[in-house]
Structure 1
Amino acid sequence: MAAQGGDWGAVVTTALGAERPEGLLGIHLNTQYAFPDQIPDNLSPDEQYAVDTLALYTGILGGSNHLQGTKPETVGIALADSPAGQAVWIYEKFQSKTDNHGRAEDALSTDAMLDAISLYWFTNSAASSARIYWENRAASMAGPKLTLPVAVTVFPRDIPRLLRSWIEDTYANLIHYGEAERGGHFAALEQPDILVGEIRDGLRSLRARL
């Protein structure tokens, strides 16, 4: 058995990798929690880019995370009362974190975005979905070091985008490192074919252990 995840799915998959339940042979991540505990004073250009993308993720793009991490019910109730508000709330994430040319529609179809928005609206889950940010408000991008086989795919417009050296330091048994040609933070929605191919390539070596 193997597990795969991106975004919050990567949080769950990383936790599984740390616990190593019986039968779990390895994992694939398209979001990596591999930020070092301490950042050196003198950064290389690649290190500076990684730090800048994390600052963007927690800064300008992190307003919704901060709001949900401190007042989840306040924003949740407001969103549950307005379909337009709920739509804009989700759309902004697609616009700011996908591989696009200024509009979310460059990366995702309108139907795909409306499907995602509808899941929140018709299930009235704006408030309940916000609580995960409150419950994990002390979390960081510095995840646990893993020793089981880990396959990784980095998408070029992901935010934050971490260095390969940091990933290698965090995942001691890195069996695959792939760099996709296109795609952003929501890889499974943006580039499903690329992601599926990467999962297959990344975890192929584990088949011999079944």
Structure 2
Amino acid sequence: MSRSTSDVQAFEARATDADLDDLRTRLAAARLPEAETGPGRWDQGVPLADLVEVVGYWRTGYDWRSFETRLDRIGQFRTVIDGLGIHFLHRRSARADATPLVLTHGWPGSVAEFVDVVDELADPKDADAPAFHVVVPSLPGFGYSDKPTTTGWGTEKIAAAWVELMGRLGYSEFLAHGGDWGGNITTVLGGRFPEHVLGIHTTFAESPPGMTTDGLTAAERAWTEETHDFWDHRAAYAKQQATRPQTIGYSLVDSPVGLLAWILDKFAEWSDTEDSPFETIARDRILDDVTLYWLTRSGASSARIYYESHNSLDPELKVDVPSAITIYPRDIEKYPRAWAQERYRQIVRWRAPESGGHFPSLEVPEYFVNDLREGLAAVMAARR
């Protein structure tokens, strides 16, 4: 349901009862394979016993309506940019000194990654903490944003769309944060639009290609080896989505269990846990994300961001706005500072915490909020 307010329309999320009933019916009728045969529980992917447990809870215990209510409470909107409807959360701070901030998610994330931190970023309990007008867009093809019907919606175009979006909200200058694809887009924002972007904070700081390991510490060499190992041995999902997103898309849109397994595998492998992602992330939070993908039928359209943008970050792109970078220990791509600063040429704060993975806003939300605040404070101080 929408009501027009110039170029931006208020939006309410509301799945039909029929769609929710259909989801439960499909979950109850799921055909599952036999159990894995590997010696390690996760060696071959999501263990059968774990999946059965989550599917049972999804069908009988999970409450999607509570998540819809949380989205509506934050404030949801849509606007059309370059012919594509873009959905976003927008939480204006009550503080007069608040700074506009756009948070960009990646895959297999969504706006659900940031729902638990928006209020504290906008109106912090500590009066001395910085406050932000928070904008959280859904990437094209994700969630309640429209699905592109033609090619061309890569990260460069998305970054330009974010500048237009922020301008429509009255924010001609703003800060930006992101990880995963959101980190890529945040990098493009800082590099291409310095007249609008005050500075950036990112958990993904990709260096230019061809960097040497000479002079790196042992820990930094380990980071580079882990990153190479990820791309050599654990990135089949990315190659599939970059080359055949339509093919995998049929399964992701038709089977809720298939979609759950595809996404849960990444939450498990990319989180800072010993075994299950539920050691640090509540089942409801992961199911908020997966159910959003399911109800919006965005398994194929979200996968296409890989087709559009895989390995597309301009090797010559430089970011000269102040940058704060945090590298979490269990993230999937980690680049040494000496490499990162070849692209991010004004790093004002660099952190490598002892815990956390690819989804820090869900895994370590309190640390994430404090780190983001401190990083962006350093960015703003560098501009004075």
Per the TM superposition, whether the score is higher than 0.5 is yes
Residue 232 of structure 2 is matched in structure 1 by 59
**CA distance, structure 2, for counterparts of residue 43 and residue 177 of structure 1:** 16
> Structure 1's 89 and 142: CA in aligned 2 closer, same or farther, altered over 3 A?
farther
Residues 211 and 339 in structure 2, CA contact (< 8 A), matched pair in contact too: no
Residues 33 and 141 in structure 1, CA contact (< 8 A), matched pair in contact too: no
Q: What residue ranges of structure 2 are gaps of 5+ in the alignment?
A: 1-173
- Flag as ranges the 4+ runs of structure 1 deviating above 4 A: 40-44, 140-143, 207-210
> Structure 1's 105 and 2: CA in aligned 2 closer, same or farther, altered over 3 A?
same
Q: Does structure 1 residue 185 correspond to structure 2 residue 365?
A: no
Q: Does structure 1 residue 200 correspond to structure 2 residue 366?
A: no
**CA distance, structure 1, for counterparts of residue 299 and residue 326 of structure 2:** 30
Residue 32 of structure 1 is matched in structure 2 by 205
The one of 151, 155, 175 aligned to 2:348: 175
Q: Does structure 1 residue 163 correspond to structure 2 residue 332?
A: no
- Which region of structure 1 is more displaced relative to structure 2, 112-121 or 17-26? 17-26
> Structure 1's 208 and 41: CA in aligned 2 closer, same or farther, altered over 3 A?
closer
Q: What amino acid is the match of 1:29?
A: T
CA offset at residue 199 of structure 1?
1.5
Q: What amino acid is the match of 1:7?
A: D
The one of 88, 91, 97 aligned to 2:261: 88
The one of 116, 136, 143 aligned to 2:309: 136
Q: What amino acid is the match of 2:362?
A: L
> Structure 1's 32 and 143: CA in aligned 2 closer, same or farther, altered over 3 A?
farther
TM-score of the pair, normalised by structure 2: 0.51
**CA distance, structure 2, for counterparts of residue 145 and residue 203 of structure 1:** 19
Residue 49 of structure 1 is matched in structure 2 by 222
**CA distance, structure 2, for counterparts of residue 17 and residue 27 of structure 1:** 7
**CA distance, structure 1, for counterparts of residue 246 and residue 185 of structure 2:** 23
Over the residues paired in the alignment, what is the CA RMSD in angstroms? 2.3
- Which region of structure 1 is more displaced relative to structure 2, 5-14 or 199-208? 199-208
Q: What amino acid is the match of 1:65?
A: A
Looking at CA atoms only, which structure, 1 or 2, has the larger radius of gyration?
Answer: 2
**CA distance, structure 2, for counterparts of residue 140 and residue 72 of structure 1:** 20
- Which region of structure 1 is more displaced relative to structure 2, 160-169 or 144-153? 160-169
Q: Does structure 1 residue 4 correspond to structure 2 residue 4?
A: no
- Which region of structure 1 is more displaced relative to structure 2, 73-82 or 155-164? 155-164
CA offset at residue 145 of structure 1?
2.6
CA offset at residue 193 of structure 1?
1.6
The one of 14, 24, 48 aligned to 2:187: 14
Q: Does structure 1 residue 150 correspond to structure 2 residue 323?
A: yes
**CA distance, structure 1, for counterparts of residue 376 and residue 313 of structure 2:** 27
CA offset at residue 12 of structure 1?
1.0
- Which region of structure 1 is more displaced relative to structure 2, 82-91 or 142-151? 142-151
- Which region of structure 1 is more displaced relative to structure 2, 188-197 or 149-158? 188-197
RCO higher in structure (CA 8 A, sep ≥6): 1
Q: What residue ranges of structure 1 are gaps of 5+ in the alignment?
A: none
Residue 176 of structure 1: SS of its match in structure 2? strand
CA offset at residue 101 of structure 1?
0.6
Residue 68 of structure 1 is matched in structure 2 by 241
Higher helix share: 1
CA offset at residue 136 of structure 1?
1.5
Q: What amino acid is the match of 2:305?
A: I
> Structure 1's 92 and 23: CA in aligned 2 closer, same or farther, altered over 3 A?
same
CA offset at residue 142 of structure 1?
5.7
Residue 102 of structure 1 is matched in structure 2 by 275
Residue 25 of structure 1: SS of its match in structure 2? strand
The one of 276, 282, 297 aligned to 1:124: 297
- Which region of structure 1 is more displaced relative to structure 2, 143-152 or 103-112? 143-152
Q: What amino acid is the match of 1:89?
A: W
- Which region of structure 1 is more displaced relative to structure 2, 164-173 or 141-150? 141-150
Residue 169 of structure 1: SS of its match in structure 2? coil
Aligned length, in residue pairs: 210
TM-score of the pair, normalised by structure 1: 0.90
- Which region of structure 1 is more displaced relative to structure 2, 90-99 or 198-207? 198-207
Residues 33 and 143 in structure 1, CA contact (< 8 A), matched pair in contact too: no
**CA distance, structure 2, for counterparts of residue 105 and residue 142 of structure 1:** 37
